[in-house]
Structure 1
Amino acid sequence: MLVYLIRRLLNYCILLIIAITLAYVIASVALNPLAIFDWTNPSIDRASVLRTLSNYNINPEDPVFTRFANWLGNIVTSWDWGKTPKGASINEEVSVRIWVSIRLIIIGTFLGMAGGVALGAWSAVRKGTLTDKSISVLALIFISTPPMVLAVVLQILAVKFNLATNTNFFEFIGETGNMGSYPGAALVDRLQHLLLPTLSLSLMNIATYSRYQRNLMLDTLGADYVRTARAKGLRKGKAVSKHALRNAMIPMVTYFAFAVATVFLGAAITEQLFGWHGLGVYGVQSITGQDINGTVCVVAFSGVCVLAGALLSDILVAAVDPRVRTN
């Protein structure tokens, strides 16, 4: 198993290097840092701007592969991912925004996974009942609702709740707000600002995962090994949890692994609407701001996340499915 994982890791690393190289070349060709300057302003010295961009290694008039060699050398020797066209450090920007995304996304993602699996399995066991039909309708409504619409609706309901109760229970713009002076006020304030965006993310995940889990559970509930276990006297709940659910989880763990890997960059809308400055928003801002180094750094982080997700998928499948471990 260890040799298999090492071999897969080497393959993923090669693919990651190719992806980052292509991302740098494409970003260098497609993005033009000169476009962010107001050239109608007579006080701007073009030669000075070009020298500055050359110092940042993002001058579009310099050869692309020369810039790539310098950029790669800086990463290998000093882990320096370069600067934005305005001179900000990419390392500092990304290091701050990674933790913002982690605080925002991790809880909502894992709540969505756990809730989706539980709800999907529960719905499958009650196939055809009013409960199953109600869950299916609600899940389809949430899946069909654009994330921005769901976030705005939650904000409207939160405002109405605050007005009706004459409180500020829901605080949902930014990471922090007006903190009180009581013990633990900082933690309470962060939890208040985290509640609504986490709810927005988790509801979408619960609805999506529950549909997958329900369909997989329906396949395993009618399998021969489940009927055999029941025929041998195993209680229904035990047969469902030990045999049906365990086997239905095998395809889901792969989906979960890649979902966790990509969710950091897939919540740009949620981050934007709730005022969180995470990696999703930063990725969009890097492209619109003609930021070559920032765009490539976000792509590289995304590639590392996918690589980690692929390895996590292999490990989780091995943990759930004993046949993989024996092979």
Structure 2
Amino acid sequence: MPAARVTLIRIFYALALLLAVLVLNFSLMHLAPGDVADTISQSMGGADAEVLERIRIDYGLDQPFLVQLGRYIGNVLHFDLGYSFFYNQSVTSLILERLPATLLLVVSAQVLALVVGVVLGVVSARRPNGMLSHFVTFLALFGYSAPVFWTGILLLIAFSLKIPLFPVAGMQDITVTGGFFAHAWDILRHLVLPMITLASIFLALYSRLARATMMEVLGSDYVRTAKAKGLSQRDVVYKHALKNALSPVITLAGLQFSAVVSGAVLVETVFSWPGLGTLAFQSIIARDTPTILGILFFSALVVIVGNLLTDFALRLVDPRLGGRR
């Protein structure tokens, strides 16, 4: 099957899945007890039936469910995710304000986990009975079993009370003066702890999987043939074996992207990182339905796009996938 056709089919499935997620999220929020009118009236200290009815008319809640759903889907297609009554601004602008912080955290954590995990897995696979291999096994067990919020709290306590090397809250210090590099360095220092916290569980997964796949590939016939031809150990490992060993790791990284996004909610809450996770937490507390729906939709969009990019990355690593049905 031609690569262009495969790409179009993937994009079509992605759009269909995004539409299904949009309908499901809206339906679940519609079935939940209470509505926007109840929440607004509570924030006002109470309201009579006439005021509640007026609010429902203003927000279109007096219309049948299918009419509300169709209107919402139409608004989303026009990049209108609604209006936040809690923050008193459009949901789209709210998400765009918080998006850079979340993308910085999620992407940096994923890159850190992938790079360090693959390096540890490859090095330990070359000496499966060495100390480093046992360390990777211990790291995988510890990282996978420790809840991400627990790891974050431990790092927060350690680096705020015992070893005050990094900031423990927020994204930047408003007192910092200077040019671009001064502000970039300040953001990087704030990023270290939440990035390590979010990357910890995925680093354990990637290192363990990279170790297992690399050991399997190093025992294959074509690797033994490459060694028999007199190629150096470095060339055998990094030019021949690593490409095939990377495919399962990249696949897992794509499948775990949704877990990275959901884990960011906990990490951002622990470290007061001003991203979509903190916004989601505050919106849930305030029962800000339009903002919650917007964040759910955007999170689904990020996960679906991440999976598409993972599929494209697999085709670059292993061109044989382009011809598979």
TM-score, with structure 1 as normaliser: 0.87
The yes-or-no answer on 1:47 pairing with 2:36 is no
* Aligned residue type for 1:20: L
Rate the CA distance shift 1:40–1:172 in 2: closer, same or farther, 3 A.
closer
The yes-or-no answer on 1:279 pairing with 2:280 is no
Rate the CA distance shift 1:234–1:326 in 2: closer, same or farther, 3 A.
farther
The yes-or-no answer on 1:235 pairing with 2:235 is no
Deviations 1:157-216 (A, max 9, x none): 2123556xxxxx411211122534455443332222112112222333322210111111
| Matched-pair contact (CA < 8 Å) for 1:31–1:291 | no
Structure 2 residue ranges without an equivalent (≥5): none
Structure 1 residue ranges without an equivalent (≥5): 164-168
| Matched-pair contact (CA < 8 Å) for 1:172–1:194 | no
Rate the CA distance shift 1:40–1:245 in 2: closer, same or farther, 3 A.
closer
Separation (CA, whole Å) in 2 of partners of 1:43 and 1:223: 72
Rate the CA distance shift 1:37–1:178 in 2: closer, same or farther, 3 A.
closer
Deviations 1:92-124 (A, max 9, x none): 211112112012222122111111111111111
Aligned-pair CA distance for 1:13: 1.2
* Counterpart in the other structure of 1:190: 187
Matches within 5 A, 1:98-177: 98-162=99-163, 169-177=165-173
| Matched-pair contact (CA < 8 Å) for 2:257–2:307 | no
* Counterpart in the other structure of 2:318: 321
Aligned-pair CA distance for 1:291: 3.3
Q: 1:18 aligns with which of 5, 20, 25?
A: 20
Deviates more, 1:44-53 or 1:116-125: 44-53
Rate the CA distance shift 1:205–1:305 in 2: closer, same or farther, 3 A.
same
Task: Say which SS state the counterpart of residue 176 (structure 1) adopts.
Answer: coil
* Counterpart in the other structure of 1:208: 205
Aligned-residue Cα RMSD (Å) equals 2.5
Q: Number of residue pairs matched?
A: 319
* Counterpart in the other structure of 2:302: 305
TM-score, with structure 2 as normaliser: 0.88
Aligned-pair CA distance for 1:263: 2.5
Rate the CA distance shift 1:196–1:235 in 2: closer, same or farther, 3 A.
same
* Counterpart in the other structure of 1:166: none
Identity %: 29
Deviations 1:1-22 (A, max 9, x none): 1111112211221222122112
Rate the CA distance shift 1:207–1:311 in 2: closer, same or farther, 3 A.
same
| Matched-pair contact (CA < 8 Å) for 1:28–1:292 | no
